[in-house]
Amino acid sequence: MNKKWLSAAAKLAAATVLASVLAACSAGGGGGTNTASGSGASNCTNTIPKKNLPVVTMWGWYPNMQLVVDNFNKQNGEVQVCWTNVGQGSDEYDKFQTAISAGTGAPDVIMIEMDRIPTFQIQNALVDIKKYGFDAVKADYSEGAWKDVSVGDAVYGVPVDGGPMAMIYRKDIFEKYDITPPKTWAEYEQAAQKIKDAGGPAFGDFAANVSALTMALQIQKGAAPFTYDPAQQSSVGVKLNDQGSKDVLDYWGRLAKNGLVGTQDQFTPEYISGVINGKYATYISAAWAPGYLTGAGVGKGEDTGKFAVAPLPQWDADHPVQVNWGGSAFSVTSQAKNPELAAKVAYGLYADKESLTDGWTNQIIFPLNLKALNDPEFVNLKVAFFDGQQANKEVYVPAANAYKGVTYSPFGQYYFDAMTKQVSALIEGSVTGAQAADRLQEDVAKYAKEQGFTVQ
């Protein structure tokens, strides 16, 4: 008992390091946090092999970044990359944001999650890289992937990894309670009720701190939260209380109220321990989840080989809609000394076969580069985490191919924080889903107006 407690604690201690900084980002992994400013080329984490070439600085947090940068530097005869890891997700954004406000201190190239691109673009912090060799690589990515890194016609990033969504589930729990993977959300609720009636664990988790996930689930029901045209930068469409958005919040609010799903914050040791101990029958998540979970210690002990994956449940099984959660891109910042050279790095980094293969075999990324996405080896991969299931072929690749892209908001941070507040109130039971959506609309529209936008 005691020993078990200790080993769990050790696992979870490792998990915290990852979890505390990971919020809906692409992949798990430790890595040292270097707080040094990346603007100078003198303090790179990597060693630059060709010292006579011009250097482009970059920030990024993929766990295999060192290898990716080394591959690029080895293969490139024109430019060298000086890379630092200044933290994952919010940690990096806060530093970037400070550098933008200060007007100095940002790197030339930066890794950011795609849903953050408009937030930085509107502050003129990113460079449109369409004129720097876009046509040469256009065919390497799907249209949906390009849409996620674009604002209007301008391209503000090169897609690297994506998060096509699916339902990860525990085979042992499904077998024990005689359940087949639900195809629709109605079936999902029925299955949850069935397990609860039989005294089983929670069927899933509805958390306040994963706004990007909640947004994706709303988009699946037809929500289009933001419309935003950079040609008319001062006007933004905010529609957070349409019927689809309300329905999704009502649905999960009901499941939480009836005790069918847990309400634990995700990316926390508490949640991971729940996943390991079989407290949740399903985990609605994206293609980076197996890598993240493995890194957090899931699927290594008694729970080895107990996980499987099925397509995301649908509202209308005849008209399936695929959505995305997370995924990152490389963008060129407007503080880049030589944007053309920086764009070459953004286009070329993590686009060579060696790096991509390392990324997907180690489950660090779900690649968006079609060279990898169409690679039979990738498609047919028997994923160890899913006990040899061909997860890419059966679930993730079709989901990625059907993904249409989304318009993200130019004030993503505020929107996500406001959503957390409302979902938290919904979980507590002080508002209904529909009310939460209305309040969110009011809150975000007010903020947009304060920031000088005309809200439609």
Query: Would you give the binding string for other proteins spanning residues 87-106, x where CB under 8 A is met?
Result: ---x--xx--xx-xx-----
Q: Which of 79, 173, 195, 207 binds other proteins (CB under 8 A)?
A: 207
Q: Least distance (Å) from other proteins to the CB of residue 95? A: 9
Interaction between residue 33 and other proteins (CB under 8 A): no
Q: Cα angle vertex 409, ends 369, 364, to 5°?
A: 30
Stretch (H or E) spanning 237: strand 235-238
Q: Which of 114, 168, 191, 208 binds other proteins (CB under 8 A)?
A: 208
Interaction between residue 345 and other proteins (CB under 8 A): no
Number of residues lying near other proteins (CB under 8 A): 46
Pairing of strands 158-170, 324-332: antiparallel
Alpha-carbon distance 71 to 110, whole Å? Answer: 18
| C-alpha separations of 55 from 38, 92, 341 in Å | 12, 21, 9
Interaction between residue 414 and other proteins (CB under 8 A): yes
Alpha-carbon distance 176 to 218, whole Å? Answer: 31
Start-to-end Cα distance in the chain? 59
Q: Report the site for other proteins in 306-335 (rule: CB under 8 A).
A: none
Residue placing its CB nearer to other proteins in the complex, 357 or 420: 420
Q: Report the site for other proteins in 126-155 (rule: CB under 8 A).
A: none
Q: Which of 32, 77, 103, 452 binds other proteins (CB under 8 A)?
A: 452
55: exposed, middle or buried (Cβ count in 10 Å: 0-12, 13-18, 19+): buried
Alpha-carbon distance 284 to 289, whole Å? Answer: 9
Alpha-carbon distance 69 to 49, whole Å? Answer: 11
Interaction between residue 16 and other proteins (CB under 8 A): yes
Cβ partners under 8 Å of residue 450, min gap 6 = none
Interaction between residue 7 and other proteins (CB under 8 A): no
Q: Report the site for other proteins in 165-194 (rule: CB under 8 A).
A: none
Query: Would you give the binding string for other proteins spanning residues 268-287, x where CB under 8 A is met?
Result: xxx--xx--x-x--------
Interaction between residue 296 and other proteins (CB under 8 A): no
* Chain length of the chain: 456
Alpha-carbon distance 383 to 36, whole Å? Answer: 37
Q: Which of 35, 47, 75, 123 binds other proteins (CB under 8 A)?
A: 123
Alpha-carbon distance 415 to 447, whole Å? Answer: 9
Residue placing its CB nearer to other proteins in the complex, 10 or 198: 10
Interaction between residue 12 and other proteins (CB under 8 A): yes
- Return the half-sphere exposure (C-beta side, CA atoms, 13 A cut-off) of residue 237: 11
Alpha-carbon distance 107 to 337, whole Å? Answer: 9
Q: Which of 68, 112, 122, 281 binds other proteins (CB under 8 A)?
A: 122
Q: Which of 187, 354, 387, 417 binds other proteins (CB under 8 A)?
A: 417
Q: Which residues contact other proteins (rule: CB under 8 A)? A: 5, 8-9, 12, 16, 19-21, 90, 93-94, 97-98, 100-101, 122-123, 207-209, 233-234, 263, 265, 268-270, 273-274, 277, 279, 410-411, 413-414, 417, 420-421, 423-424, 427-428, 450-453
